[in-house]
Each structure stands twice: as C-alpha cells, then as structure tokens.
Amino acid sequence: MGSLAAFPVLIITLMVQLAIISRLPLLHGTADLMLLVLVAWALQERVRTAWLWTLLGGIMVTLVSGLPFYMPIFGYLIATGIALLLRRQVWQTQLLAMFVTTFSTTLIYHGLSLAVLQITGRGLPIGDSLTLVTLPSALINLMLALPVYTLITDLAHWIYPAEIA
C-alpha cells in the first residue's frame, strides 16, 4: 500500500512545490517540499518503502529541474540515508531527527548543487549563494518541517495502521 501511495502523494507534493512554494521566496531561497516529505517519510517507524519514495521523488524533480539529471536523485538519496540512520540512532525523538536532517540535508543538497553548477560552468559566487539562497532555504525548510512531519506522520499511520494484539 505504501508503494502505491507514493505516486499521488509525490505528484501532489511536486505540484504544490512548483505552483505555490516556489512563488514564496525568502531573499532568493525557496523551500524544498519534496525533500521535507521524503525525510519525514523515512523517519516513520513502520515505513519500509522510503528508498522507493526517494527514487520516485528524485525522478519527478529531475524532470522539472534545471540541474543535471542525477543531482536531485543523488541529493535525495543522501537525505533519506541520513534520515534512516538517525531513525535508528535517535529513535525516541523523531521530531529532533526531522529538524537535524532537514537542516543538514538542505546544506548538503545546496552544496552539491553549487558544486555541480561550478563543474558544468554555470557557477554562482559561493558567498552570494550561501547568504542569498542556501541559508534562507534552510530557514524556510525548518519552518515547514513541523507541519510536513505532522501530515506525513498522519499519512503513515493511515497507510500502516497499528496492529491490535
């Protein structure tokens, strides 16, 4: 059931990100709703389809992104890996893991994006990129982390109900 739910949830997430979230920048940074959804999904205890959701989400973002085709997939795989690692290590405080993963993976994703753009010759000044894009994006992602985590937790409980003994 979790695999089938990935398609509508991720398509709606991408549409909301493109139509609404991208139109609400802070300086030049915007939130990455797909990243937040994938991290929140990976942090759920009963979820076993986090890698599938990550691949689907990465492919969807790749189709609409100006970055090279492998960058969103690779960035989201790193985010899911960190989330799954934190889920095992900090299992009692998943909300803290959500905030830590959101902040760290936003910085990693933006760092990788800047590196790829530098390599391909479309680089941006690093100082301006950090202060005008990366840090505002991290702030917006942190502000949206709690509502996204709450919605995805409810979705996970609906898809994977607790077994009654």
What domains lie within the chain, and their CATH numbers?
A: 2-159 (1.10.1760)
Sign of CA dihedral 15, 85, 52, 160: negative
- Above 70 in pLDDT, residue 164? no
pLDDT digits (tens, 9 = 90+) for 34-91: 999 999 999 998 888 999 999 999 999 999 988 888 899 999 999 999 999 998 887 6
The span from the CA of 93 to the CA of 115, in Å, is 33
Q: How many residues does the chain have?
A: 165
